[in-house]
């Protein structure tokens, strides 16, 4: 029998259309899986079983009539507990947020999913206010890696990544201000996309400003394209949202990579020490891109690590996030968050504007880079998942999570689309991710390339099975 928790959203919708199985069956299977994995990995802040089943029954009736209400009718989804969800508290991983309502509004991305009939099975874990690249918080504890529960799932969308990886819903909404979709997706072995800034509207506006993106976390690029077609539409509440996309991301998947100019930067010009197992897996995937017809050149983008500017913007945003809290509430915060809040509060307006200057120059350099190259490919992270419950790997010498994420946060500064694709495992069986970056507004190229890699991997597995 088909295990419904292993199916992608594309396959679920196809099965609903053919009457092979129903939204109620799929939702029950996902809820059972979520309840089973929760004690070990802690992916959820809350599950909404009865509400989800009620949504699934209505979707089932629409499919029975041949009148689905949208492109995701009856598909189970999860939402990171940073994004407003009507009828459910959004606590943002914080004991300082009151669960009292009213919770009467959906974030734009959540609203679009609801309009298309998605079934909301639960809210997923986040570090407090999404401040760091691992997922633990004073509110919900530690979220663990589905491949090894002693390791971190990454963050800040760690619950979302773990849920997708373990079959607790094929689609998840995450947020990414410095890598928070790509980091956990890489650690957990799934696909994650940070779209071009503004492609997915965000409301309320993030205190981290225009670093913050909303993106799909899925099993493959086809599901992400389908999800982006749904959530990547304008919303009047976000003044910085982009206009309608020029076409369907799903329809653009079939273009392949033949003729694309790909710059492969294994270490950002020697700036990053990458573990050998990670470097090897990424290089093999890059070779597959060349076999598929891409013109691959080893080339580095022309920038030095912008971490100081990122910290100025990020820490200032954190200070703004908690500015409204009383002294007693601040005592409830994650100690690491309190520390960066203190640093952020000490920056001057001139410090902030100097960081903006660095950001603009980085954007200029990447704009020029993409005149020569359609895509930049790097490792997503230089390491695989480390021990759970800590911000940095023990013995690494890093002070903050940005020390081990040098490939991700630069592209929040530039607002470019960037995705992570699983491309193998290390010697401990922990997933390795490859990052694909394109010029702003070229989300289609990122998705096309990822889809081609998934197709190549499927063909390779099929050939091995036949052999």
**Residues forming the active site:** 80, 156, 180
> Between β-strands 44-47 and 261-264, what pairing exists: parallel, antiparallel or unpaired?
unpaired
Interatomic CA distance for residues 404 and 74, integer angstroms: 38
C-alpha closest to that of 458 among 420, 419, 422: 422
Q: Give the residue carrying structure tokens 């120059």.
A: 361
Angle formed by the axes of helices 158-165 and 23-41, to 10°?
Answer: 120
- On whether the CB atoms of residues 437 and 415 are closer than 8 A, the answer is no
Helix segments in 232-384, DSSP class H = 249-252, 276-291, 307-321, 327-330, 335-346, 349-372
Interatomic CA distance for residues 24 and 7, integer angstroms: 14
- On whether the CB atoms of residues 227 and 200 are closer than 8 A, the answer is no
Q: What phi-psi label fits residue 261: left (phi over 0), alpha (psi between -120 and 50 degrees) or beta?
A: beta
**Distances in Å between the alpha carbon of 64 and those of 4, 18, 21, 134, 289?**
19, 10, 11, 43, 42
- On whether the CB atoms of residues 125 and 44 are closer than 8 A, the answer is yes
Q: What phi-psi label fits residue 270: left (phi over 0), alpha (psi between -120 and 50 degrees) or beta?
A: left
Interatomic CA distance for residues 345 and 177, integer angstroms: 19
C-alpha closest to that of 307 among 412, 402, 181: 402
- On whether the CB atoms of residues 89 and 133 are closer than 8 A, the answer is no
């Amino acid at each position: 029998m088909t295990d419904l928790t292993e199916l992608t959203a594309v396959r679920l919708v196809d099965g609903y259309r053919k009457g092979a199985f129903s939204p109620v069956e799929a939702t029950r299977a996902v809820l059972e899986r979520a309840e089973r994995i929760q004690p070990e990995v802690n992916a959820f802040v809350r599950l909404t079983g009865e509400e989800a089943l009620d949504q699934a029954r209505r979707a089932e009736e629409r499919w029975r009539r041949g009148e689905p209400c949208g492109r995701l009718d009856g598909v189970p989804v999860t939402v990171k507990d940073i994004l407003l969800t009507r009828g459910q508290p959004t606590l943002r991983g914080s004991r300082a947020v009151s669960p009292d309502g009213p919770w009467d509004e959906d974030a734009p991305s959540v609203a679009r999913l609801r309009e298309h009939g998605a079934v909301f099975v639960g809210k997923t874990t986040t570090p407090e206010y999404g401040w760091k690249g691992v997922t633990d918080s004073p509110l919900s504890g530690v979220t663990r890696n589905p491949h090894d529960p002693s390791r971190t799932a990454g963050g800040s969308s760690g619950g979302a990544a773990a849920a997708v990886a373990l079959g607790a819903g094929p689609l998840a909404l995450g947020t990414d201000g410095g890598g928070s979709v790509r980091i956990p997706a890489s650690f957990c072995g799934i696909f994650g996309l940070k779209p071009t800034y503004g492609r997915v509207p965000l409301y309320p506006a993030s205190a981290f400003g225009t670093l913050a993106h909303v993106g799909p976390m899925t099993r493959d690029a086809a599901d992400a394209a389908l999800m982006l077609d749904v959530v990547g539409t304008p919303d009047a509440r976000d003044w910085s949202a982009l206009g309608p996309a020029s076409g369907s991301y799903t329809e653009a998947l079939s273009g392949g990579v033949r003729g694309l100019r790909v710059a492969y930067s294994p270490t950002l010009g020697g700036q990053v020490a990458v573990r050998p197992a990670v470097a090897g897996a990424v290089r093999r995937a890059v070779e597959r891109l060349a076999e598929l017809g891409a013109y691959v050149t080893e080339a580095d983008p022309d920038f030095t690590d912008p971490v100081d500017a990122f910290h100025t913007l990020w820490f200032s945003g954190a200070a703004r996030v908690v500015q409204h809290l009383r002294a007693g509430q601040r005592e409830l915060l994650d100690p690491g968050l309190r520390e960066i809040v203190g640093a952020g509060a000490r920056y001057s307006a001139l410090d902030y504007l100097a960081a903006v200057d660095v950001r603009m120059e980085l954007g200029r350099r990447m704009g020029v880079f993409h005149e020569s190259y359609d895509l930049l490919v790097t490792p997503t992270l230089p390491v695989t998942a480390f021990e759970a419950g800590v911000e940095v790997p023990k013995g690494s010498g890093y002070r903050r999570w940005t020390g081990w994420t040098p490939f991700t946060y630069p592209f929040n500064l530039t607002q470019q689309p960037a995705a992570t694709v699983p491309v193998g495992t290390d010697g401990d069986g922990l997933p390795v991710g490859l990052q694909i970056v394109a010029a702003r507004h070229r989300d289609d190229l990122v998705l096309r390339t990822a889809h081609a890699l998934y197709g190549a991997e499927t063909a390779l597995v099929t050939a091995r099975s036949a052999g």
